[in-house]
């Protein structure tokens, strides 16, 4: 039986969020703008591209932002000194250290130096603990973006069986905890999972974050299930593709995110969201609630006006 597969347009949702946040920035009470500082160490071209996109997106909604670029051989001591300086600077609301770092840095030590109240990536151990314990903190941007897509598409998470493939600290693990917090029944899969297709076929919502191009076939997906594809791999021709065999799942899955244009744009949209939340938490007169934004996600996407797209990504 052919099923209509709803494509989930991450660019459209990210654009709606930028519009929403731009309005919040414009309506702030304080004369100080929300501000984000990114740090990139070394000359990894992909890291520089990501940081450029982040800077452009923050500027597009009226935030203040700057990128600190440090030489490849910057010592860990110097990097941490720069972070501590930003922690003390009350005009800076959010700090992001672009990963990966050159190999002479210990990521955990560097991330732990960021003030947890400014850790808009949600990587600081206090924020990891807050997510696991269900306390307020910052949630990593990609999992938060995946959850937003489910809210915005009206796909119910509470009570659903969600299967997450991948257990990285940036996506898989926080994703599983976030879904658990949203009252889903959660199964985590990884490279040692036996009979992967048998497990994934039992999912109402399948979230895959492995980077293994074409891992998910029809055999892995129950008819009508939602597939959120976080993968960013390359096929034999070097083209960017997701974990899912997209063409095979069209007419089989109930809803599917494309790669590119699905989860990717949501990561930056959630970074801006976390930065706005950091600003509000540091300025108690300002009102901003991520929970409210999520609860309005359905309305926000139906209000979407293509004439109002902010020109990023
Ligand atoms: N490198 C790849 N993804 C991310 C991310 O979400 N945050 C940071 N800081 N670095 C990354």
Q: Give the pLDDT confidence of 239-272 residue by residue, as tens digits.
A: 999 999 999 999 999 999 999 999 999 999 999 9
> If you take atom 11 of ligand 1, which residue's CA is the nearest one?
99
Beta bridge partners of 68: 39
Whether ligand 1 lies within 6 angstroms of the CB of 243 is answered as no
Residue 304 confidence (pLDDT): 60
Residue 312 confidence (pLDDT): 53
Residue 68, both tokens: 């600190």
Residue 166 confidence (pLDDT): 98
Of 115, 119, 121, 204, the active-site residue reads: 121
Neighbours of 93 (CB within 10 A): 27
Q: Dihedral through CA 114, CA 293, CA 300, CA 176, nearest 10?
A: 70
Domains and CATH numbers, the chain: 33-115 (3.40.50.10860), 140-263 (3.40.50.720)
Tell me: the pLDDT tens digits for 34-74?
999 999 999 999 999 999 999 999 999 999 999 999 999 99
Tell me: the pLDDT tens digits for 107-148?
999 999 999 999 999 999 999 999 999 999 999 999 999 999
Q: Is 98 a catalytic residue?
A: yes
For 112-134, letters b (16+ CB in 10 Å) and e give bbbbbbbbbbbbbebbbebbeee
Rg value, the chain, Cα: 19
Task: List phi, psi (to 5°) of 238.
Answer: 85, 10
DSSP 104: T
Residue in 170, 173, 174, 232 to alter for ligand 1 test, most ligand atoms within 8 A of Cβ: 170
Helices and strands, number each (H, E), in the chain? 12, 11
Q: How confident is the model at residue 175 (pLDDT cuts 50, 70, 90)?
A: very high
Residue in 99, 105, 108, 271 to alter for ligand 1 test, most ligand atoms within 8 A of Cβ: 99
> d(Cα 177, Cα 162) in Å, to the nearest integer?
11
Residue 79 confidence (pLDDT): 98
Tell me: the pLDDT tens digits for 295-307?
999 998 877 654 4
């Amino acid at each position: 039986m052919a099923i209509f597969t709803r494509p989930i347009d991450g660019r459209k949702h990210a654009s709606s969020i930028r519009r929403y946040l731009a309005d919040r920035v414009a309506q702030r009470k304080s004369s100080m703008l929300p501000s984000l500082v990114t740090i990139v160490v070394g000359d990894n071209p992909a890291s520089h591209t990501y940081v450029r996109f982040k800077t452009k997106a923050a500027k597009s909604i009226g935030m203040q932002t700057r990128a600190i670029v440090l030489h490849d051989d910057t010592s860990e001591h110097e990097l941490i000194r720069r972070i501590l300086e930003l922690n003390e600077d009350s005009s800076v609301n959010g700090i992001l250290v672009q990963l990966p770092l050159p190999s002479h840095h210990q990521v955990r030590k560097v991330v732990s130096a960021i003030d947890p109240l400014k850790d808009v990536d949600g990587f600081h151990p206090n924020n990891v603990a807050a997510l696991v314990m269900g306390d307020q903190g910052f949630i990593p941007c990609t999992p938060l973006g995946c959850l937003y897509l489910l809210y915005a598409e009206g796909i119910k998470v509470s009570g659903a069986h969600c299967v997450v493939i991948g257990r990285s600290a940036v996506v898989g693990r926080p994703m599983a905890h976030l879904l658990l917090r949203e009252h889903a029944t959660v199964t985590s899969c990884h490279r040692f999972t036996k009979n992967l297709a048998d497990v994934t076929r039992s999912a109402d919502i399948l979230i895959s974050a492995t980077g293994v191009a074409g891992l998910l076939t029809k055999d892995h997906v129950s008819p009508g299930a939602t597939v959120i594809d976080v993968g960013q791999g390359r096929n034999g021709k070097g083209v960017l593709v997701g974990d899912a065999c997209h063409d095979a799942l069209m007419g089989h899955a109930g809803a599917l995110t494309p790669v590119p244009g699905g989860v990717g744009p949501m990561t930056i949209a959630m970074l801006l969201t976390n930065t706005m939340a950091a600003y509000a938490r540091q300025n108690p007169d300002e009102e901003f609630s991520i929970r409210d934004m999520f609860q309005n996600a359905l309305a926000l996407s139906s209000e979407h006006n293509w004439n109002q797209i902010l020109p990023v990504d």
